[in-house]
Amino acid sequence: MLDAIGARFRTEFGGAPFRRFFAPGRINLLGAHLDYNGGDVLPMAVDRGIYLAIRARDDGRIRLRSVDQPQAIDVAAADVGERTRPELAWAGYPLGVWHGFQQQLGLSAGFDAVYAGDLPMASGLSSSAAIEVVTAIALDALHQTRLERQQIALLAHRAETGFVGVRCGIMDQFASALGRAGQVLLLHCAGPRWEHVPFDPAACEVLVLDTKKPRHLAKSGFNERVAQCATAHEILRTHARDLPHLALYDENDLATARSAMDPVSLRRARHVVTEMARTRAGAVALRRHDYEALGKKLSESHRSTAVDYEVSCDELDVITAAACACEGVFGARLTGAGFGGCAIALVRPGAAELVQQAVGAAFRQRFGVDAGFDLLRSGPGPGEIF
């Protein structure tokens, strides 16, 4: 990966010195769609992510290349604007981060950059957050702005919500910016506050199950869920209690407000409220290294995202059910926003190969497609590569 970005950088931008950075992608153990509802989430940075070769420029030009994506972008700072445009494609993420540095820190210098990733793109492992975070730590290092990791995460998050226009929560950018090897991030999104909880690789491994189903509806479906949760919250505030976030309600509140709730609001709220309880129970299990109990919560979470939140699909339901039927699997669920992309299974070390064979065969038989499999490890947070 490093050789590939280095070679491409020299070909595109010449041989003067450049610097290299990395930011991880993430899986999320529990807390599906809780971040923008003020709930708790349990993401873990993985040993895959986005690599960047970069050199600052004195003028305001920004030139962006990707080893994996065809679009090459050359823009003048004055033309970056306030929002991305369709023709900018993936480059909207780094440009959004640059825009944040310009707005908040007065940055005017441009840069030349080449990106490459070893995460499947747009599949629920947060390649976009990793692009944002790697750009932010690189600009921070090049211009010595000395931002803290939390500020990096918030700047990256604003690039996605403000510039790109996805109304996502803070989980992905925090997971990437605050990732630590061997640790899961327990992030209380309402604060935000966080702590790191150890994950024991000798007791449990994370197998990614890639359905290869593109997430075409992810952006519109995602923003629709955000709006539906706002509606449900409003009903609960009026008919149960006035709490600042949907994730803070409980099942008694749902019972109190039930007659006022339309069926969609009720289902969305029920997922959020029960997922919050599952995430808390999962964090307790994780601290005890009880991967059986943690795995059960993942499988329950999948059912709730499928039935009440309606962000699963046949491919994700089949692949998680096939995994759960295997010996040595603690539990499985979709990861990321859903609507396609990847699921994760927690597996006993040594079991992954047989799981892969059985799940691969079941998936091929049903859909005629070869699913992808990848054993991911917890990985370090972002940083410069020397």
**What are the φ/ψ torsions at residue 205 (nearest 5 degrees)?**
-125, 160
User: At closest approach, how far in Å is the CB of 194 from ligand GLA?
Assistant: 15
Residue 172 is encoded by which pair of tokens?
């992905």
Least Å distance, CB 255 to ligand GLA, is: 26
Task: Report the residue number, 41 or 109, with the smaller CB distance to ligand GLA.
Answer: 41
Q: Which stretch binds ligand GLA (CB under 6 A): 5-13, 27-35, 75-83, 86-94?
A: 27-35
Q: Which of 329, 298, 291, 315 is nearest to 370 (CA)?
A: 315
Q: Contact 189/171 with Cβ under 8 angstroms?
A: yes
| Number of residues forming the site for ligand GLA (CB under 6 A) | 11
**Ranges assigned E (strand) in 89-168:** 111-117
Catalytic residue among 35, 172, 253, 374: 172
Give the CA-trace dihedral at 227, 90, 176, 385, to 10 degrees: -170
Stretch that binds ligand GLA, among 25-33, 101-109, 135-143, 377-385 (CB under 6 A): 25-33
Q: Is 207 in the site for ligand GLA (CB under 6 A)?
A: no
Site for ligand GLA in 212-271 (CB under 6 A): none
Q: Compare residues 169 and 340 and give the one whose CB is closer to ligand GLA.
A: 169
Q: Which residue has the tokens 């640790």?
A: 183
Q: Which is nearer to ligand GLA, 138 or 247 (CB)?
A: 247
Q: Which of residues 161-180 bind ligand GLA (CB under 6 A)?
A: 168-169, 171-172
Residue 35 as a binder of ligand GLA (CB under 6 A): the answer is yes
Residue with tokens 């091929």: 364
DSSP string, 192-258: TEEEEEE--TTT-EEEEEE-----TTHHHHHHHHHHHHHHHHHHHHHHT---SSGGG--HHHHHHHG
Provide, rounded to whole angstroms, the least separation between the CB of residue 312 and ligand GLA: 12
Cβ closest to ligand GLA, residue 241 vs residue 303: 303
Q: 63 with 73: CB under 8 angstroms?
A: yes
Burial of 241 (0-12, 13-18, 19+ CB in 10 A): middle
CA atoms within 13 Å, Cβ hemisphere of 204? 26
- Amino acid letter, 160: E
59 assigned to active site:
no
- Minimum CB–partner distance for residue 171 and ligand GLA (Å): 5
Verify binding: residue 36, ligand GLA, rule CB under 6 A.
Answer: yes
According to DSSP, residue 6 is labeled H
Residue (110 or 179) nearer to ligand GLA, CB: 179
Query: By CB under 6 A, is residue 139 in contact with ligand GLA?
Result: no
Q: Tell me if 33 contacts ligand GLA by CB under 6 A.
A: yes
29, 32, 206, 319: which one binds ligand GLA (CB under 6 A): 32
The smaller minimum CB distance to ligand GLA, of residues 114 and 133, is found at 133
In the bound state with ligand GLA, the residue whose beta carbon lies nearer, of 97 and 326, is 97
For ligand GLA, which stretch binds (CB under 6 A), given 33-41, 145-153, 228-236, 312-320? 33-41
Q: Which is nearer to ligand GLA, 9 or 249 (CB)?
A: 249
Is residue 88 a contact point for ligand GLA (CB under 6 A)? no
- For the bound state, the minimum distance from the C-beta of residue 337 to ligand GLA, rounded and expressed in Å, comes to 4
Q: Please, what's the b/e burial string for 109-148 (b: 16 or more CB within 10 A of its CB; e: otherwise)?
A: bbbbbbbbbebbbbbbbbbbbbbbbbbbbbbbbbbebebe
Site string for ligand GLA, 318-347 (x = CB under 6 A): ------------------xx----------
State the minimum distance, in angstroms, from the CB of residue 58 to ligand GLA: 35
Distance CA 153, CA 173 (A): 5
Q: How far is the CB of 1 from ligand GLA (least distance, A)?
A: 23
Give the CA radius of gyration of the chain.
21
Report helix, strand or coil for 20: strand
> Which residues belong to the active site?
172
Please give the residue ranges that form the binding site for ligand GLA (CB under 6 A).
28, 32-33, 35-36, 168-169, 171-172, 336-337
